Structure 1
Amino acid sequence: MTKGKYQAVQTFELADPRAMAVRTLERVHDGAYSNLQLDAMIKRSHLTERDVHFMTNLVYGVIQHRLTLDYWLGHFVKQSNQLDPWVRELLFLALYQWQFLDKVPQHAIFDQAIELAKRRGHAGIRKFVTGVLHAMDRQGLPALTAISDPTERLAITYSLPQWLMQRLIDDYGSARAEKIAASLNQAPAQSVRVNTAEMTVAQAQAELEQAGFTVTPSLLSPVALRLTGGGHISESVAFQSGKITIQDEAATLMVPSLDVKPGMRVLDAAAAPGGKTTQIATYLDAQAGGVVEALDIHPHKVDLIQANAKRLHVADRIHARALDARQVDQQFADNSFDRILVDAPCSGLGLLRRKPEVRYEKHLADSYALQKVQLAILDAVASMLKVGGRLVYGTCTVLTIENDDVVAAFIARHPEYRLVPTYVDKDRSLTDKQGLVHILPDQYQTDGFFIATLERIK
């Protein structure tokens, strides 16, 4: 079987969560963003709310465990990557349900896969799928523990590229690397940041609970809440009225370390979509001259910053513009800012719970290339900060290449800067001896995040 073109969606599929999951997975594997493609498929479907949740589980589960599933399938189908895309995804779907879910019996999983192969394909495809599934049932799946190379075994077990598994081992040791890898396949928590310019955290919690959400105060951030139930938070009155915004708990920790005062001038050098920009703005007073200059290289992303600022009622304190942060000298003079935030472009490997397909798209060379960009941004903004001011650098990745190494290289090139302890409100143990903060995904089940706080001393 060779790769074919996408077939038109058939009517029977629109009410079948498995069929719609296969459609979604085809497109994600060929480059579509999982969240956007899933939303598009859900809108096209005729699924109940329960089936939407099931379909979402199937899509993210297969993406998260793709290397494991491919390892198992490869023992029964040689060159499985040459299968028609939908047939490969259908087999992955059956494998995922069989091995990782427990509510549907194996015989029902296999029967449903065979029926879908029959309805979407032809007799030959149905016969092929039947044969593969029956062979798996008779012979059993190959044990992952039989993989002799320890790094390869961990990589396949947790479905991370081998280069990434090796980097985690190098940075954190084998035991911690395995915990991190395992945590990346857990479902992400839904969290929000309270817009404290509009209401207190206690008031937001009460309003969200009244709206049907189960709300737990964050163990990590004083301005974040973790939510379950209640539907889509973006459809809530609290979100639409600007009282809250969707933001990971770990991501809310960068801004407090800036120590922003009401009348300060702040630079957010890589601001889109504006989560941290609007958080900075909650500390500012426009009448006292407080402003945050928010930059992004892409004009359409500047629109996102402005839309978020308007929704959260802090637009009077935000100036957003399209500008590459490496070219800040074209718009601003030296010593222009009291505070600078660099939420740097990075590999995003701390976000794998939310964007599981990213793990298959990145390579070690990408992190080294990004390191150069990160340093170039820091170099460009370094002279813009006033003496005595603070610069907070952060990424949503867990690799030392883009974190500790970048900070060390910057300080070596800029003796006018020194590290100071990053402020953490709740868990002070997160700040290491250098003052750096590493929030790893296994600690609080949040995104992975890195934060460094620097002060200009001359």
Structure 2
Amino acid sequence: MQMTNNPRFLAVQALAKIKAGAYSNLQLNNVINDHQLKPADVNLLTTIVYGVIQHRLTLAFYLKPFIKNPQKVQPWVRELLYTALFQELYLDRIPKRAIFNETIEIAKQNGHEGIRKFVTGVLHQMDRSGLPEIDTIEDPVEKLEVKYSVPRWLIEKLQEQRGEAKTLAILKKINQAANQSIRVNPKQIAVADAITKLQEEGYDVRTSEVASDALVVSGRSANQSELFKNGQITIQDESAMLPAESMMLSETMQVLDACAAPGGKTTQIAAYLNAERGGKVTALDIHDHKVNLIMQNAKRLHVESAVDAIKLDARKVSDQFDDEQFDRILVDAPCSGLGLIRRKPEIRYEKTLTDSEHLQQIQLKILQAVAPKVKKAGILVYSTCTILNEENQAVVDQFLDNHPDFKSVKIQTKLNLKQDRESDYLEIFPDDYDSDGFFISGFQRLS
């Protein structure tokens, strides 16, 4: 069997590299770009890789009784067995015989005779004995940990902060495939016209209930659309559009996007501005290549005249900008990213509570640095793509405690999300609207 373009073999290779520290999306892109695969094989490869990552703790629970010496199992062999289990449990169109045959063949081609025998033995023993039952786990948190493949610390923290019912709703959602959403570029095309053209190209399209310029599309990748190539749309999650949408921008404003790469929110802000009338968004990042990426995205979307991208650490804005220089500032802060688990499933295993506590200090330092740069009566918007209080409400509380010259303002969105909430800040959870988890808060400088 030729393995070089076999999607199951490529999935095993990719999973081993991801387990060793590679980013899932980048690793998958590399594999797809390096091999000439049919669309069906790309789909199978992607499904297996993301599926194994999403269900890793569940698959480990099922496999454990059949591995006598786990420390002796090579990492790629473990990933191979996970791919077999995932296909059997979660993909209903592939016959068990085909899964077993291909798994054993991969073991034979990629290893030695001992590995082939070991893999064959494990598969057949699982088939004869059946898999252990998750419902036999007595500890309720451990049961959730195994069932939804989410680390115990995160489940306990969510239960503490959100309650058991909300935690369960979030857990049920995060292993479902994320929607593909796009933002229509209003500088180039109206939303209604974008819908018509996308449908003519064969996409299924529905309007978003989250963001006013958002559409949810399916059928094929949005970057294959002529509208994407022409800069009339860009790929962005619905929730990620809310920080810029909530900034109450007008076309002549001076705006600072303090943590800007890759530029999704920068270009969204720029679409509200009129460069000829002096409107400008200054976008910061600490890496040269990311500053270049921001400008590339701005040029593709035809808003580069309103964008100025600069290499600068947001904590050092005083080196370059005057106090009270900006009408609006956006701090879309570095965060744990736990609201993005559906798109980046490995995040759940990599992050710890200590990470959130460390990031909180970075977030506060950025807010501390940029706060003097807001004009009086201007607005500073703080957002994250996480769902933990440590990086959200706790940061808001500390910022306001330390800055009596700012007051909290209620976040408003064009589609009036959660208008009946008691808080000024807006929290979006993955189960709320089937979008990414996000947090947005606003502070107005007192005049």
TM-score interval for Structure 1 and Structure 2 normalised by the shorter chain? over 0.9
Q: Deviations over 1:27-56 (max 9, x none)?
A: 111111111111211223343211211111
The residue that corresponds to 1:351 in the other structure is 340
Cα distance in structure 2, aligned partners of 1:138 and 1:171? 43
Could you tell me which of 138, 148, 156 is aligned with 1:158?
A: 148
Distance 1:106 1:259, change over 3 A: same
Say whether residues 1:329 and 2:318 are aligned partners: yes
The residue that corresponds to 1:391 in the other structure is 380
Cα distance in structure 1, aligned partners of 2:238 and 2:70? 39
Say whether residues 1:298 and 2:264 are aligned partners: no
Cα deviation for residue 427 of structure 1 reads: 4.4
Say whether residues 1:135 and 2:99 are aligned partners: no
The residue that corresponds to 1:51 in the other structure is 41
Say whether residues 1:83 and 2:39 are aligned partners: no
Q: Tell me, which stretches of 5 or more residues in structure 2 are unaligned?
A: none
Cα deviation for residue 343 of structure 1 reads: 0.3
Q: Tell me, which stretches of 5 or more residues in structure 1 are unaligned?
A: 1-10
Could you tell me which of 312, 316, 327 is aligned with 1:338?
A: 327
Matching residue's letter, 1:327: K
The residue that corresponds to 1:375 in the other structure is 364
The residue that corresponds to 2:228 in the other structure is 239
Q: Which moved more, 1:245-254 or 1:39-48?
A: 39-48
Q: Deviations over 1:272-295 (max 9, x none)?
A: 111111111111111211111111
Cα deviation for residue 79 of structure 1 reads: 4.9
The residue that corresponds to 2:26 in the other structure is 36
Say whether residues 1:442 and 2:435 are aligned partners: no
Q: Deviations over 1:6-65 (max 9, x none)?
A: xxxxx8112321111111111111111111111211223343211211111011000110
Say whether residues 1:105 and 2:95 are aligned partners: yes
TM (norm. structure 1) is 0.95
Say whether residues 1:69 and 2:59 are aligned partners: yes
Q: Deviations over 1:127-186 (max 9, x none)?
A: 111111111112211111222221121112111111111111111111211211121111
Say whether residues 1:415 and 2:400 are aligned partners: no
Distance 1:80 1:386, change over 3 A: same
The residue that corresponds to 1:123 in the other structure is 113
The residue that corresponds to 1:173 in the other structure is 163
Cα distance in structure 1, aligned partners of 2:416 and 2:61? 40
TM (norm. structure 2) is 0.97
Share of identical aligned residues, percent? Answer: 51
The residue that corresponds to 1:7 in the other structure is none
Distance 1:404 1:33, change over 3 A: same
Cα distance in structure 2, aligned partners of 1:143 and 1:77? 17
Residues paired across the two proteins, number:
447
The residue that corresponds to 2:216 in the other structure is 226
Could you tell me which of 285, 293, 315 is aligned with 2:274?
A: 285
The residue that corresponds to 1:200 in the other structure is 190
Cα distance in structure 2, aligned partners of 1:439 and 1:359? 18
> Aligned-pair RMSD on alpha carbons?
1.4
Matching residue's letter, 2:115: I
Q: Deviations over 1:179-211 (max 9, x none)?
A: 111211111111110111111111111111112
User: Residue 383 of structure 1: SS of its match in structure 2?
Assistant: helix
Distance 1:336 1:155, change over 3 A: same
Cα distance in structure 1, aligned partners of 2:91 and 2:234? 32
Matching residue's letter, 2:7: P
Cα distance in structure 2, aligned partners of 1:335 and 1:78? 66
Q: Deviations over 1:292-314 (max 9, x none)?
A: 11111112111111111111111
Q: Deviations over 1:310-347 (max 9, x none)?
A: 11111111111011111111111111111111100000
Q: Deviations over 1:372-421 (max 9, x none)?
A: 00001111111111111111110001111101110011001111111111
